[in-house]
Amino acid sequence: MDRILFIVFLSLSTIAIGFGGLATYFAVRCARKNDGEVRMALWSVAALAGFSFGGMCWAYFLLPIILHHLSN
C-alpha cells in the first residue's frame, strides 16, 4: 500500500511543482508586457497553489513514507 501511495503522490507532486514552475514562467512573461498586471497576479496565484500542493504532498505523504522505510 505504501508503494502505491508513494507512486501516486510522487507523480502528483511532480505535476504540481512542474505546473508551479510553468505558471511562474508565464507570470514573469506577463509582467514584462504593458497592462499585464492582472494576468501576472493570476499566474502568480496559480504558481503559489502548485508549489504549495507539491510541498504538502512531500510533507504529509512522501517524507513519512520514506522515513518509515528507512527506519525498518
Per-residue pLDDT tens listing for the chain (72 residues): 889 999 999 999 999 999 999 999 999 999 988 888 999 999 999 999 999 999 999 999 999 999 999 998
Tell me the CB-side half-sphere exposure of residue 50, using CA atoms within 13 A.
Answer: 18
Beta carbons of 57 and 16 less than 8 angstroms apart: yes
Cell 510533507, located at residue: 59
The per-residue pLDDT for 35 is 86
Q: Are 54 and 16 in contact (CB under 8 A)?
A: yes
Whole-model pTM: value is 0.86
* pLDDT score, position 58: 96
Expressed as residue numbers, the domain containing 16 is: 2-71
The C-alpha cell at 44 is 502568480
Calpha distance 71→58 (Å, rounded):
18
Number of domains in the chain: 1
